[in-house]
Amino acid sequence: MKRLAFASLIIVLAGCGAHTSITVAVTRAYVVCESLAAGCSGNAGVLAKPELMGLSADGSLYVKPVAWQDWGTATAIGTGTAHADDCKPNCAQGTYSAHPATIVLTAPKPWNGTLAYTHADESVPAIGWHYSVTVNYAPAASVPAPTATPTPSVTLPATPGPVSTLAAVNSTCTMGYIPTGQGGVFQPGTPQGQTISGTYYPPVPGYQLTITDTSSATADVGGFAVVFYNSEGNELGSDRQNVTETFITTGQSLTWTEYSNTDTSGNSDSYGTATIPSGAATCQMVAWYQP
C-alpha cells in the first residue's frame, strides 16, 4: 500500500499576555489524475503516486513505471520511461519505443477532501514532447470533508492585511538551466549539455526568482524585471515577465522559474519566453509590478 502525504496546520494565537498553541490535523492526501490529457471523472483514476501516467488521450504515449520525488509538497517530480507509439501505418498497428521522461506536478488545490495537483509539465526530449497542461477533475462523488476539532475553543487570527502599494519585498535570483536530455527540471549552475545514445542535447538557460514579502502589507505581484551580469560583473541585458496575479502576505515567499526561448545552440524551443543573454552568470531583480 502506498503511503499518503498529509498536510498539518499549527496555529499560534496571542491573547492578553498569554500564548495558546494548538495543532489542527488536516488529513488531506495528495493525489493526481493519472490521465493528464483526458482528465478524470469522479474518483476514478485519481491516485496517490500513480505508477502509470497517460500523456495522450488515445494511449499512444504514456509513462510507466514512474518514480516520484517530493510527493506531498508543492512540487512533485516524476521520472520514468515513456512508451511512444509511432502510429505507422496507424496507431492501432504502430510500434512503441521507450524514452526517458519527466513529469513535474504543481499547484495542488483542494478537491474532494484531498489536495489534487492541477498543473503538469511533461517532457520526453527524445521525441520532442514538451507540454504544460492543466489537469482536469470532474466533480467527484460526495465524500465528507475531513474536520478538525481544536481544543480549547479559540478565535482564529485575523485575515491578512489589505493589498498596498507600500508593500516591500526582498528577492533572490539564481541562474540555471534545463538538461534537455533528461527532461525539464531546473538545475542551478552553468548550463551543461548531455550526450545520450550518441545524440547531443544542448541545455536551455533559465533563472529562478524567489520573492519574499518583508512588510506588514500584502504584495500584489503581476510581473518583474531581472538584469543579468557576466562573471566580471558587467551588465549584459535584462528580461521582463508578466505573471499570473499573485498575492504574497507578510513573510510569505513565492518562486518563479523562467526559461530562454532558445537553447545554447540557438535553436528555438518550447520551454519558455525569457530573453537570457549568452554568458549570463548571475541575475538580480530590479523591479516588480502590480497588475
Q: Which pLDDT tens digit goes with each residue over 128-176?
A: 888 788 887 766 544 444 455 455 555 554 445 555 556 788 999 999 9
Cell 538551466 identifies what position?
177
Q: Which of 234, 236, 241, 229 shows the shortest CA–CA distance to 288?
A: 241
Are the beta carbons of 22 and 154 closer than 8 angstroms? yes
How high is the pLDDT of residue 171?
92
Cell 510500434 identifies what position?
95
Q: Which pLDDT tens digit goes with each residue over 225-257?
A: 999 999 998 999 999 988 887 888 888 888 888
- Adjacent-strand bridge partners of 235: 229
Q: Which pLDDT tens digit goes with each residue over 40-78?
A: 876 778 889 999 998 887 778 899 999 999 999 999 999
Top pLDDT among 39 and 223 is at 223
Given a cut of 60, is residue 124 above it in pLDDT? Answer: yes
* Mean pLDDT over the full length of the chain: 79
C-alpha 237/C-alpha 280 separation (Å) is 9
Amino acid identity for residue 20 in this structure: T
Decide the pairing of beta strands 114-124 and 129-134: antiparallel
How high is the pLDDT of residue 32?
92
Which domains are delineated in the chain?
Answer: 7-15+25-134 (no CATH), 169-289 (2.60.40)
- Name the least confident of 117-131, 172-186, 187-201: 172-186
Percent of the chain with pLDDT over 90: 24
C-alpha 60/C-alpha 89 separation (Å) is 13
Decide the pairing of beta strands 114-124 and 30-33: parallel
Top pLDDT among 281 and 152 is at 281
How high is the pLDDT of residue 65?
92
C-alpha 285/C-alpha 171 separation (Å) is 7
How high is the pLDDT of residue 174?
95
